[in-house]
Amino acid sequence: MESSTPAPANPGTSPLRVLVTGTSGMLGRAVAQRLQDAGHHVRSLQRRAVHDPWESVQGSVTDAGVLTRAVDGMDAVIHLAAKVSFTGPWSEFQSTNIEGTRELLAAARQEGVPDFVFVSSPSVAHFGSSIVGAPAGAADPERARGFYAQSKAAAEQLALAADSPNFRVAAIRPHVVWGPGDTQLVERVVERARAGRLPLLDGGRALIDTTYVDNAAEAIARGLTRMDHAHGQALVVTNGEPRPVGELIAGICAAAGVPAPAFSVPGWLARGAGSVLEKAWLAAGNRGWVNDEPPMTRFLAEQLSTAHWFDQRHTHDVLDWKPSVSLDDGLAKLSDHYSQHL
Amino acid sequence: MVAEAASVLEIPDPWPGVKASWRRTLSVPSTSAVDSPGTRHEWHFLDNAADVAATVAATGVQPAGTLLCVHGNPTWSYLWRTLLSGATTGATATTGPWRVIAVDQLDMGFSERTGTFRRLEDRITDLGDLTNALGLTGPVVTVGHDWGGIISLGWATRHRDELAGVVLTNTAVHPAGFSLPPALKLALHPAVHGWGTTTTSAFLRVTHGLAQPPLTPDVRAAFMAPYRSVSRRAGVGNFVADIPATSSHPSWSALDEVSSGIQTLGVPALMMWGPKDPIFSDRYLRDLIHRLPQADVHRFEGASHLVQEDRDIATPTFDWLAKNLVGRGHVPAIPEATREAAYSPMLAELDARCEDTSVAIVDMAPGSASKVSNTLVNRSASWAELARDVDDLAAGLADLGVTAGKRVSLLVPPGITLTTLIYACLRLGAVILVADAGLGTQGMSRAIKGAGPDFLVGIERALAGARLYNWPGIRISSVDFPGVTGSSKRALFNVAATVPEIMAKGSVLRRSNPASAFTPAAPDDDAAVLFTSGSTGPAKGVVYTHRRLAAMRDTLKATYALKAGTGLVAGFAPFALLGPALGATSVTPDMDVTSPRTLTAAALAAAAAAIDATVVFASPAAMVNVVASEAHLTPEHRTALARVELVLSAGAPLSEPLLAEVAQLAPNAAIHTPYGMTEALPVTDISLDGIREAGVGNGVCVGKAVSGAVVAITALNPDGTPTLEPSTAPGITGEILVAAPHVKARYDRLWITQEHSAAIPGWHRSGDVGHFDDAGRLWVEGRLAHVITTPAGVRTPVAGEQAAERLPEVSRAAVVGVGPVGTAAAVVIVETVPQTKRAGLADTALAAAVRSAARTVDLEVAAVLCIPEMPTDIRHNSKIDRAKLAVWASRLLSGGRAGKP
């Protein structure tokens, strides 16, 4: 399977062979790139044939044969692949996020891969109210909000339950990852703002901590080298720079050269409207009337109108790491990205 | 003789906070008169004996003694659960564990329903029967609440050999003084009594409802548990009926015996009180203080009858026991500054000048500000007149019952009358209470009630307040009530006498008995209670002894080279009152003293002109207005101000530009601004030149320690708590410590607060944070309670605030933390120019500007908020209530409603 001689690794660390799933996304790609740059051997698992700068196995995470091939000979797995959406039927979240994780865990354990990093989300322990400087809470599929968070919570539980001395599993939960090329947060914000469809909730006052993509990738890669400390734990990763969400959005809009939201609606109203729209869009989608996302969902409204920022001290200790790109530097990089691409 | 019954013991951990192993029952032979001989009763009580045995086995430290806890009506031993659990924790590691026995009195809690009517005498005997059956030996500390307080003290008076101390919480022992509060009168009324106390659970529910904050449902249920049925509640009704409200009551003599017997107990006493108690109010606390003058007292401002539920009483109880009953351990070195200096009484200067006919004191007439050579008549007194009036007033007050140690609340504006009253009280050894209008009406009311004056002297407005808010103390009017309405006003305000009457009476008395002299107060007797401004919680009473007041005078004299004969303008009350003690001629300018901002430049200049003053004391708020009204000065005014050699702006820091404007008004004066607090006035001093030399830094530079004072810093732990190790090393931020002969003696009736402030022997913990620079100057960085513990380290507010205030669009800034200790996020709240109309997020440009300004002082800012106006204290209108702002900002930044801070 080895395709090339590994580049020289960092002094003192031996090159690892790492399977990274979800490299089609911004964060997965950043993680794979970072590992490769550090001299590790990277293999990706891709649904479709792509031209990656690293070894790639083609197939679905729900196909056991594919998974066995993918994990074969690996020193570690970093599992990022997931269905990330505010909408969609539960069955899709379940099969991709829960069953996919279950299968991958089983395959990795069976093939004797010693380390497994499950990339999770703080939303697995966000139950709709504010999180103010709290440490990582326990994942709870019953109380998490929305299908995505519920399925990730169940998957994280599966992953951490599999942790053992011979098969070490850590969960890393980067919070609201953004950066150049981000289709999840940045593109949504920019598109809606450009269309004048992006309100602030409660004046955008809720304090939210986010993660610049390079920092998230760093922390995930760091998880591999600190596995002896991190295994068995869920670690929230952020920039450690809580900001009012209105300011963050204004910053992203400014970087993309679109006008910042100029109107605000009360949070309670948006949460209520989100619930209604979500159901309406789901029903309409089932009938083939719409194929886009609703303008507001309850999950999104909660995310935008409640504080969620975290105590990073434990994460910094366990990973022996601190973020290297500040929020303002990240916004500058985003601005560069847009000025080059527009 | 000792037989354990199993029935009630089978329920494991049935109530929150109670261990099943604590529950015991015991069959006890009764010797009470109400029972026939041979009667036995089944007692239920909580006893941590097993915990104590386990602790002794584990640590080898022997038990310190026993707490015997007696509940009142209608509670039960459950009330004392925190003492049982606290008795074997780390809090008692050095002293050894305490055994705690909390009884359920007969007919109460889960003890037997005897079917008898047990009176106070029976109940005291019952308790002795139980302790006999238990074989309880000393040392025993009794602990009581409500009517259990009397019963516990009854046990104490009859077991003096075993008794080591008494602890009391909201109770009363005074038979003669009982005028029952309306709530109890109603409860005792025959039409209500049986229905309210026994037939229904109304009395129970009302009592439980007094808790502040309210009891949780499970705790409420636990209090109700033994009283679920009418038959279970018979004891509750009987207890209420046994209150000896009049001397004809059968329990009167038993109560009388207890209330007089406790005066000879001679053991340490601790009283913890919830002042919001509608029944056992402050008056009963004051009565107990007179009976047990050795007591340490702590009033939990805001707590009510169930003080055990409202506040943590266990921690202070075991602290107090450790300090008072088990020995204080090692005595560390005391700082040099607190060693005793030569003592000269406050009245020494006045006595020396009793023949001097030169002017001692002047009150500027209202309206006098408009002219320098005025046609209006200023009131003045010579030294001889002042000395005579002080002694006349003292003699008259003594005749009215004002004796050494009595507390006299002075609600009189600064001027000759107040000065005469102060020195008359000092002459008598009476304790003056100075609660100023700067506390706000509610704050002043709390302060007066808490300090509990025996006498209250006031102007008409104060007497009206006394009537409205029911302030304690025999009322004295500062002036006569002339004319036809005079007598009705006297009656309305319930005035016993007026100051002119008392002075006249005193004059007569002194002439008829010229040989009589006043006994000078002992140097370490209490002299005065001053009040903190209340910007950091309810105003605290601060007690000064005669020695410490005299030391304050000496410090001012030495620091500012004040000579006898100096003329000073008294625009800042605390220092102004020292005029006669300093031998300085003082003048009170024409202003509304309740509002310092009403002092105009012209009024100040006119006052200075009246006595050729060379020294001006003023508050910062007054200075702001003086500078603002400078345009109205006449050439004569300017001439008078040009004679001034020293301007002292005390109370809160003033900015350099404002001080520079003051310097222009008084071109020949040195401008000084002392730093201090009600607990230590002053601590350091800096001149305008010194401020300029110090420049910009982390905080406000307040200069170096004044004469006689020593300042140190105790560095902070990462969680923002002080390490309690004094140091003078530069560059270390920590809590500011003060040692000086003029530091307060103690806080008044705030034992816990006092212990906290004196945790480092010899030092007063100021609650401020700051650091020394390389030149040894002190910089104040804010309040300890306002320190922000960010993940990057501890940050103090002032430097960030100053950085933000240097932006042109920011008029005032506050830096607060939101989020948990250790990982807090810093938030800057600003008042803007022009003033914002609605509170909310700052716009992007302002937020970015504030952020980069804050970065210059190494402060990372999470959010910038705008607010129309900051909440500040009333006295100085300058101390921003950062704690309140932090709560507001937390709410705002987690999606809550904006509202007001």
CB-side neighbour CA atoms (13 Å) of B725: 6
Half-sphere exposure of B529 (CA within 13 A, CB side): 25
Are B893 and A241 a contacting pair at CB < 8 A? no
How far apart CA B582 and CA A160 sit, in angstroms, is: 76
Give yes or no for B862 touching A (CB within 8 A): yes
Q: What distance, in Å, lies between the first and last C-alpha atoms of chain A?
A: 40
Chain B residue numbers touching A300 (CB-CB < 8 A): none
CB–CB contact A307 B893 (8 Å): yes
Q: Does B859 touch chain A (CB under 8 A)?
A: no
Give a yes or no: residue A122 inside a domain.
yes
| Inside any domain, residue B138 | yes
**pLDDT mean over B603-611:** 93
Q: What is the mean pLDDT of residues B92-97?
A: 83
- Residue B874, pLDDT score: 63
Contact call for A242 and B892, based on CB within 8 A: no
Confirm or reject contact between B793 and chain A (CB < 8 A).
no
Question: A266 or A9: whose pLDDT is higher?
Answer: A266
Kindly identify which residue of chain A lies nearest to residue B842, measuring between CA atoms: A247
Q: What is the pLDDT of residue B6?
A: 41
DSSP state of A88: S
Nearest CA in chain B to A246: B841
Contact: B895, A309; criterion CB under 8 Å: no
Domain of B214, in residue numbers = 7-324
Give bridge partners of residue A41 from the DSSP assignment: A17
pLDDT at site B337: 53
Same domain for B192 and B62: yes
Q: What is the pLDDT of residue B508?
A: 95
Q: Looking at the partner chain, which of A133, A243, A251 has a beta carbon nearest the beta carbon of B863?
A: A243
pLDDT-based confidence at residue B376 (cuts at 50, 70, 90): low
pTM, two decimal places: 0.85
User: B-contacting residues of A 43-72, CB under 8 Å?
Assistant: none
Cross-chain residue pair B825–A309, CB shorter than 8 Å = yes
What's the CATH code of the domain at B467?
Answer: 3.40.50.980
The DSSP H or E segment spanning A286 is: helix A267-286
Q: Does B701 reside within a domain?
A: no
Q: For the segment A63-81, what is each residue's pLDDT rounded down to a tens digit?
A: 888 999 999 999 999 999 9
CA A188 to CA A198: how far, in whole Å? 9
Q: Is residue A334 part of a domain?
A: no
Mean pLDDT, residues A292-313 taken together: 79
Chain B hits for A311, Cβ within 8 Å: 791, 820, 822-823
Residue B697 confidence (pLDDT): 87
State the amino acid at position B823 in one-letter form: T
More confident residue, B148 or B209: B148
State yes or no: pLDDT of B176 exceeds 70: no
Q: Tens digits of per-residue pLDDT, B297-329?
A: 999 998 999 999 999 999 999 999 998 887 544
Say what the pLDDT of residue B870 is: 87
Nearest residue of chain A to residue B860 (CA atoms): A241
Please check whether residues B805 and B882 belong to one and the same domain.
yes
pLDDT tens per residue across span B13-41: 578 999 989 999 999 999 999 999 999 99
pLDDT at B331 over 70: no
Q: Specify burial of residue B88 (Cβ count, 10 A radius: 0-12, 13-18, 19+).
A: buried
Whether cis (ω within 30° of 0) applies to the bond prior to B139 is yes
The residues in B 762-791 lying below 8 A from A, measured between CB atoms, are 791
Region B207-236 average pLDDT? 88
Residue B736 lies in a domain: no
Which of B192, B132, B6, B155 is CA-nearest to residue B70?
B155
CB atoms under 10 Å from CB of B170, counted, come to 28
Helix (H, G, I), strand (E, B) or coil at B270: strand
Cα B410 from Cα B473, distance rounded (Å): 11
Mean pLDDT to the nearest integer, B61-76: 93
10 Å CB burial of residue B779 (0-12, 13-18, 19+) is buried
Distance from C-alpha of B318 to C-alpha of B750, rounded to nearest angstrom = 16
Q: What is the DSSP pairing of strand B810-818 with strand B825-832?
A: antiparallel
Q: Which residues of A306-337 are buried (b: 16+ CB within 10 A; e: fewer)?
A: bbbbbbbeebbebbebebebebeebbebbbeb
- Bridging pattern class, strands B840-841 and B861-866: antiparallel
pLDDT tier, A8 (very low <50, low <70, confident <90, very high otherwise)? very low
| A130–chain B Cβ distance below 8 A for any pair | yes
Asked if the bond preceding B213 is cis, omega within 30° of 0, the reply is yes
SS3 annotation, B283-302 = HHHHHHHHHCCCCEEEECCC
Asked if residue B282 belongs to a domain, the reply is: yes
- A:73-112 residues touching chain B, CB 8 A cutoff: none
Instruction: State the pLDDT at residue A289.
Output: 66
Chain mean pLDDT for chain A: 86
Has residue A124 been placed in a domain?
yes
> Are A207 and B863 inside 8 Å of each other by CB?
yes
CB-based contact A130 B824, cutoff 8 Å:
no
Residue of B nearest to A251 (CA): B844
pLDDT at res. B209: 85
Q: Is residue A305 part of a domain?
A: no
Q: Which chain B residues touch A247 with a CB distance below 8 Å?
A: 841, 844, 847, 863
Q: What is the mean pLDDT of residues B746-764?
A: 93
Q: pLDDT tens across B439-489, in order? A: 788 888 999 999 999 999 999 999 999 999 999 999 999 999 888 788 888
pLDDT value of position B185: 65
Binary contact (A241, B824; C-beta < 8 A)? no
Contact B825 A267 (CB under 8 A): no
pLDDT confidence of B393, banded at 50, 70, 90? very high
Contacts of A261 in chain B (CB under 8 A): none
Taking each helix axis from N to C terminus, what angle separates A298-305 and A146-161, rounded to the nearest 10 degrees?
A: 80
Please indicate, yes or no, whether residues B140 and B257 belong to a single structural domain of this protein: yes
Q: Do A242 and B862 touch (CB under 8 A)?
A: yes
Can you read off the two tokens belonging to residue B226? 């033994």
pLDDT at B594: 66
Last residue of a domain, one of B464, B488, B521: B521
Residue A148 annotated in active site? yes
Instruction: Decide if B252 is inside a domain.
Output: yes
Domain end point (choices B300, B324, B348): B324
Domain count, chain B: 3
Active-site option among A93, A118, A147, A148: A148
A207 touches chain B (CB under 8 A): yes
Q: How far is CA B283 from CA B178, B188, B278, B351, B575, in A?
A: 10, 21, 11, 37, 32
Q: Which residue of A has its CA nearest to B825?
A: A242
Contact check, Cβ <8 Å, B840/A311: no
Give yes or no for residue B434 having a pLDDT over 50.
yes
Which tens digits make up the pLDDT trace of B339-360? 556 899 999 999 999 999 999 9
Calculate how close chain B gets to A89, using CA atoms only, in Å. Answer: 30
Q: What is the mean pLDDT of chain B?
A: 88
Count CB neighbours of B680 within 10 A. 23
Any B CB within 8 A of A202 CB: yes
**CB-CB neighbors (< 8 A) of A132 in chain B:** 818-820, 890, 894
pLDDT tens-digit series, residues B546-590: 999 999 999 999 999 988 889 999 887 666 678 999 999 999 999
A313 touches chain B (CB under 8 A): yes
| Residues B863, A307: C-beta atoms closer than 8 Å | no
- Amino acid A28: pLDDT: 93
Work out the pLDDT band at A288, boundaries 50, 70, 90: low
> Which residues are registered as beta bridge partners of B299?
B273
Asked whether the predicted pLDDT for residue B658 surpasses 70, the reply is: yes
Query: How many C-alpha atoms does B333 have within 13 Å on its Cβ side?
Result: 5
Number of C-beta neighbours around residue A166 at 10 A:
8
Q: B891: distance to nearest CA of chain A, Å?
A: 9
Element (H, E) at B508: helix B499-512
Of B144-158, B189-203, B221-235, B697-711, where does mean pLDDT reach its minimum? B189-203
Average pLDDT over residues B849-864: 94
CATH number at residue B875: 3.30.300.30
Tell me which DSSP letter residue B880 carries: B
Q: In what order do the strands lie in the sheet with B810-818?
A: B810-818, B825-832, B861-866, B840-841
Task: Give the mean model confidence (pLDDT) for residues B325-342.
Answer: 57
Structure confidence at residue A204 (pLDDT)? 86
| A133, A206, A307 ranked by CB distance to B820: nearest | A133
| B205 lies in the same domain as B87 | yes
How much is the average pLDDT of B757-773? 94
Could you list the residue range(s) of the whole structural domain that residue A150 is in? 17-178+210-239+310-324
What pLDDT was estimated at residue B440? Answer: 80
> Where do the H-state alpha helices sit in A124-266?
146-161, 186-194, 213-225, 227-230, 245-256
Residue A6 in this model has a pLDDT that exceeds 50: no
pLDDT above 80 for B739: yes
pLDDT for residue A228 is more than 90: yes
Q: Nearest-5° angle of CA B797, CA B803, CA B806?
A: 135
Residues of chain A in contact with residue B890, where contact means CB-CB under 8 angstroms, are: 132
Please enumerate in sequence order all residues whose Cβ is within 8 A of that of B426, keeping only pairs 6 or more positions apart, or say none. B345, B346, B347, B432, B521, B527, B546, B549
Residue A56 located in a structural domain: yes
- Regarding whether B286 and B399 lie in a shared domain, the answer is no
Q: Does residue B439 lie within any of the structural domains?
A: yes
Which of B844, B847, B894 lies nearest to residue A207, judging by beta carbons? B894
CB neighbour list of residue B656: distance below 8 Å, 6 or more residues apart: B688, B691, B692
| Subunit contact B893:A207, Cβ cutoff 8 A | yes
Count up the domains in chain A and report the number: 1
pLDDT of residue A9: 41
Q: Are residues B414 and B314 in the same domain?
A: no
CATH number at residue A75: 3.40.50.720
Are the Cβ atoms of B822 and A313 closer than 8 angstroms? yes
Contact B893 A306 (CB under 8 A): no
Q: What distance in Å separates the CA atoms of residue A221 and residue A35, rounded to the nearest whole number?
A: 7
With a CB-CB cutoff of 8 Å, which residues 282-311 of chain A face chain B? 305-307, 309, 311
CA distance B848 to chain A (A): 10
Q: Is the pLDDT of residue A36 over 80?
A: yes
pLDDT in tens, A247-285: 998 999 999 998 888 777 777 777 767 777 677 766 766
φ/ψ of A114, rounded to 5, equals -80, -30
**Which ranges constitute the DSSP H helices of B858-898?**
882-892
Q: Are B439 and B874 in contact (CB under 8 A)?
A: yes
- A262 close to B (CB below 8 A): no
What's the pLDDT score for residue B2? 39
Instruction: Give A207 to chain B, closest Cα distance, Å.
Output: 5
ipTM confidence score = 0.86
Q: Are B763 and B738 in contact (CB under 8 A)?
A: yes
Two structure tokens written together for B107: 């007919």
Closest-CA distance of chain B to residue A305, Å: 5
Which residue, of B324, B340, B374, is where some domain finishes? Answer: B324
Dihedral (Cα; B475, B477, B482, B485), 10-degree rounding: -40
Q: Is A69 part of any domain? A: yes
Instruction: Write the pLDDT tens digit of every residue in B695-730.
Output: 988 899 999 999 999 999 999 998 889 998 999 999
Q: How many CB pairs lie under 8 A apart between chains A and B? A: 75
Name chain B contacts of A262, Cβ cutoff 8 Å.
Answer: none
Instruction: Show the tokens assigned to B203.
Output: 């009395």
What pLDDT shows up at residue A46? 85
Q: Give percent above pLDDT 90 in chain A.
A: 57
Q: A242–B825: do the CB atoms touch at under 8 Å?
A: yes
